[in-house]
């Protein structure tokens, strides 16, 4: 089995434990929660633009990440999952790409991963993005 499949299975096991911020849970498709996540993503984009135009670029990478992350959460709610972990959310999206459930280029997931890994080092990301 590959990394994505192994991580996906681990995430499902963690989600069954019910601990906060752990794993994935299979749930009913939830279009209302998906819509709420899109609204959050839209708000994040507006905030990102505001910060960028206000020359507060040290926060742009973080808001960009959360705009993308909330978009991923919207997708998984529509697929009938709930995530309690960023890595598990991203892994589920990768699995859905591999299984041809969604049509999304891997390079976009790679961008999200890059931002996720660098959130603690926003200065470096800001410099790279500029």
State pTM to two decimals: 0.84
Contact present, 53 and 32 (Cβ < 8 Å):
no
**Model pLDDT for residues 15-48, shown as the tens digit of each residue:** 988 777 689 999 999 999 999 999 999 999 999 9
Asked if the model's pLDDT at residue 129 lies above 70, the reply is no
More confident residue, 63 or 118: 63
Q: Containing domain of residue 71, as a range?
A: 3-129
Distance of CA 58 to the CA centre of its chain: 20
Please give the span between the terminal C-alpha atoms of the chain, in angstroms, as a whole number.
39
Percentage of residues in the chain having pLDDT higher than 70: 87
Position 123 scores a pLDDT of: 46
Helices (H), the chain: 3-17, 31-53, 60-79, 86-98, 106-118, 122-129
At 12 the three-state DSSP class reads helix
Q: How many domains are there within the chain?
A: 1
């Amino acid at each position: 089995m590959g990394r994505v499949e192994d991580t996906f299975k681990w995430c499902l096991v963690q989600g069954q434990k019910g601990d906060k911020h752990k794993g994935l849970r299979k749930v009913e498709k939830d279009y209302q929660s998906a819509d709420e996540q899109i609204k959050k993503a839209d708000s994040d984009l507006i905030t990102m633009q505001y910060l960028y135009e206000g020359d507060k670029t040290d926060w742009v990478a973080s808001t960009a990440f959360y705009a993308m992350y909330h978009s991923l959460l919207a997708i998984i709610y529509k697929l009938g999952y709930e995530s309690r972990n960023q890595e598990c959310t991203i892994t589920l999206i990768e699995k859905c790409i591999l299984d041809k459930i969604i049509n999304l280029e891997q390079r976009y997931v790679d961008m999200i991963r890059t931002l996720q890994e660098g959130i603690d080092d926003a200065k470096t990301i800001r410099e790279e993005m500029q």
